[in-house]
Amino acid sequence: MPSKYSRLEAKKFAVNRSSRIFERPLDINGNLQKVSEYYGESVFHYLTAPGIPESIKDELLAVSTSGTALKKEHADIVAKAVTEWATQKGATHFCHWFQPLTGSTAEKHDAFLDLDGETPIEKLSAGQLMQGEPDASSFPNGGSRSTFEARGYTSWDLSSPMFLIDGVNGKTLCIPTAFVSYHGDALDMKTPLLRSVTNLNEVATKFMNMIGFSNTKKVTVTCGAEQEYFLIDKAFYFARPDLVMTGRTLMGSLSHKNQQLDDHYFGRIPERVLSCMEEIDFKLHKLGIPAKTRHNEVAPGQFELAQIFREANVSADNNQLVMAVIKEVAEKHNFIALLHEKPFAGINGSGKHINWSMATDDGMNLLEPGVNPEKNLKFLAVTSIVIEAVHRRAKLLRMAIASQGNDHRLGANEAPPSIISVFTGSNLEKIFEAIKNGETVTEEGKVILDLGANQLANLMMDNTDRNRTSPFAFTGNKFEFRAVGSSQSISFPLSILNAAVTEVFEESIAFLEKEIKATSVETALMNLTQKWLKSSWNVIFNGDGYSQEWVKEAEKRGLPNLKNTADALPALLDQEQTKYMVEKGIFRRNELDMRYNVLVESYNTLREIEFQTQMDIVKKNVLPATLEYKRILGKVIKQQKDIGLESSVEVELYKKLNFTVESLYANLSNLSNACEALNGDAAKNSFEIANNIFPLSQALGVSCNQVEDLIPNDLWQLPTYYEMLFLR
């Protein structure tokens, strides 16, 4: 089949696929097992594992929570137990599983096989469990180490359970680890996250004790991520070099029906997609990841998966696996899952809402307003602390979600703007306003919604409405950081957010220490809340974040508006913004520099790959299609002329095509010249790319779409938006 028909071939494949059936395990009666029967089957946690004495479990727990040193003999007991467990389940290999600065995960496999003399045995030693030594030089390090120091260490994270991943013919035991350099610099996403939760625990616990909750011994950060993704048929994917190379379409004329009718969101899930989701959930549940919600998203072909929240570090590991499992299972169903923030221009992109709160060991959610939020001083104070943190570290939070992919979402009329603000909902805003102004807070009446139909159960009105335009919203009993990109690791934004909140907690403790000497705890808490609300009032915004008025208003309020990645990343180098994190060792100064370098370089590289790929497609696909069409038109025109007929329509078409191709070619040359002229250092290039070259690439994309609209169906080789989004 000649290649120009590849698109039509792909279409045939896509529409004729059937749903994949996977085997769900049966119970002894031959019925399908309940989820609770296989949930966590592929997970090993020393706390629940058989073969580990209770006393040692306690010691291990102490190690993971209070940072005491792990004894080798204890690690040995875990190593033996996990080897027994994993090899019985069919595992042949183990690996240290870690999260380098690429944002994805890495693993290096070793066999359990060992030789005892000449006798083959299965073995994982305490040393192998606790520490690994992958060569660090091939992972992004932002130029922080010279090659003679290329050694890196992975170190077992006791707080996140080990798990088995399935290969086609065997299994591998994954040991979650942190990844650090020879000098202990964090080369990964996990290490700073662990430091940040440790620091937050310390100050938040102290805070709780101070305000009268003397039983609180620990405060953990809780997090639940919602993951958005697109599914398109595999056949289309491989016929789109831009998707394969860059994860997004670099051109593509929007179909006439896309998401205007809002008929996809929460709609009936297409059968083939549902069967894929069922297998995704099955796999995740076996991995002990509590996948909870699945539904269609706003854009055609777009879906969401949300899991039940848990401790932040485990949640971050979970989300990495969620992304991996979605991709892997999708392929089995002949889909490709696109996790890019903006695979298709003109329709919604994908994000990842990080639901975030803090919980005490004795079961309190610090952001739970309760029935009388206006009287819940702990809630009011903690909420004001978070708001102050977001206000103060808005630049860092914006930086933490910056990527070339997310640049397409933030500020587009579908996703939170790049201006960081906090949505509180109107009830809370009223209460806060009164506190700020030193007025008495009146009780907000509970509103029951009258539905006018007795058959229906009473609905209590939520005390927050659903403002989808806010990057950071209070949603009932947690905050939701909504501006996070769909493909990124949640660890980084979590670390930054935790650090920002820790800083304000610490200042709050100092404030309260003084206040409590002079007045009651209640008054002190009110004063604290008032203090933070006064200083952070500007960041609270409950209006339409998509509107142009907000951009102007935010500027008046002095809120930063870092429009793209190039603008946002320098916050990492801003000593005023990062001082606290560095002081507390959540990030070392050189780790921040390292991250800046890695992020700038990856931004530049990813954009350059996009530019080159786009120019390639123009030369190899778009231009040849125009030539072919011109050839056909030319032939018709000549034919008509030969028999003495006018061909006004054909000539019109020819002229129009010619005109469009001319501007396409001019745009191609502009982009090509601009890319060649790029010769600054990475930082300078990032601005040049963001401000000058990227717009050229967008202009080229528009030209391509104009051409696509003119070219006959059978001459156009690239699968269209209509096909990719609607055919499955």
CA distances from 542 to 334, 421, 471 (A): 43, 9, 11
Which residues, other chains included, contact 264 with Cβ-Cβ below 8 Å and sequence gap of 6+? 296, 297, 298, 299, 300, 301, 302
CB 309, min distance to ligand ADP, A: 3
CB 468, min distance to ligand ADP, A: 9
With binding defined as CB under 6 A, does residue 321 bind ligand ADP?
no
Which residues, other chains included, contact 446 with Cβ-Cβ below 8 Å and sequence gap of 6+? 371, 460, 461
CB 499, min distance to ligand ADP, A: 18
Which entry of ligand ADP, Mg ion, none binds 306, CB below 5 to 8 A by partner kind?
A: ligand ADP
CB 174, min distance to ligand ADP, A: 23
Q: Which stretch binds ligand ADP (CB under 6 A): 305-313, 392-400, 404-412, 530-538?
A: 305-313
Which entry of ligand ADP, Mg ion, none binds 176, CB below 5 to 8 A by partner kind?
A: none
Report the run of H or E that residue 355 belongs to, with start and end.
strand 352-360
Helix 694-710 and helix 589-617, axial crossing angle in degrees, nearest 10: 30
CB 349, min distance to Mg ion, A: 16
CA 612 to chain centroid, in Å, comes to: 26
Q: Of 139, 309, 335, 505, which lies in the binding site for ligand ADP, with binding defined by CB under 6 A?
A: 309
Q: Of 48, 138, 293, 413, which lies in the binding site for ligand ADP, with binding defined by CB under 6 A?
A: 293
Task: Kindly state the greatest CA–CA separation across the chain.
Answer: 104
Q: Which stretch binds ligand ADP (CB under 6 A): 302-310, 331-339, 492-500, 651-659?
A: 302-310
With binding defined as CB under 6 A, does residue 550 bind ligand ADP?
no
Which entry of Mg ion, ligand ADP, none binds 357, CB below 5 to 8 A by partner kind?
A: ligand ADP
Q: Residue number with the shortest CB distance to ligand ADP?
A: 224
Give residue for tokens 């055919």: 727
With binding defined as CB under 6 A, does residue 610 bind ligand ADP?
no
CB 306, min distance to ligand ADP, A: 4
CB 666, min distance to ligand ADP, A: 45
CA distances from 111 to 73, 117, 124, 332 (A): 22, 17, 9, 27
Distance, CA of 560 to CA of 398 (rounded, Å): 9
Binding mask 215-234 for ligand ADP (x = CB under 6 A): -------xxx-x--------
With binding defined as CB under 6 A, does residue 554 bind ligand ADP?
no
CB 399, min distance to ligand ADP, A: 23
- Number of helices and strands (H, E) in the chain? 25, 20
With binding defined as CB under 6 A, does residue 474 bind ligand ADP?
no
* Nearest CB to ligand ADP, comparing residues 129 and 314: 314
CB 357, min distance to ligand ADP, A: 3
Which entry of Mg ion, ligand ADP, none binds 528, CB below 5 to 8 A by partner kind?
A: none
The three state secondary structure string of 22-76 is CCCCECCCCCECCHHHHCCCCEECCCCCCCCCHHHHHHHHHHHHHCCCCCHHHHH
- Both structure tokens of 98: 């870690």
With binding defined as CB under 6 A, does residue 357 bind ligand ADP?
yes
Distance, CA of 66 to CA of 76 (rounded, Å): 20
Q: Of 26, 113, 308, 451, which lies in the binding site for ligand ADP, with binding defined by CB under 6 A?
A: 308
- Both structure tokens of 413: 């009329």
State the DSSP string of 450-493: --S-TTSPPEEPPSS---TT-SEEE-SSSEEE---BTTS-SHHH
CB 47, min distance to Mg ion, A: 30
- Both structure tokens of 506: 């610490």
With binding defined as CB under 6 A, does residue 365 bind ligand ADP?
yes
* Nearest CB to ligand ADP, comparing residues 320 and 717: 320
Distance, CA of 236 to CA of 213 (rounded, Å): 58
* Nearest CB to ligand ADP, comparing residues 185 and 341: 341
* Nearest CB to ligand ADP, comparing residues 347 and 358: 358
* Nearest CB to ligand ADP, comparing residues 306 and 711: 306
311 three-state secondary structure:
strand
Residues at the interface with Mg ion (CB under 5 A): 353
Partners of 225 in beta bridges: 354
23, with CB counted inside 10 A (0-12, 13-18, 19+), is: exposed
Q: Which ranges in 211-311 belong to alpha helices (H)?
A: 234-238, 241-246, 271-286
Q: Of 44, 303, 344, 356, which lies in the binding site for ligand ADP, with binding defined by CB under 6 A?
A: 356
With binding defined as CB under 6 A, does residue 468 bind ligand ADP?
no
Give residue for tokens 């944002």: 103
What residues make contact with ligand ADP under the rule CB under 6 A?
222-224, 226, 293, 306-309, 355-357, 365, 477-478
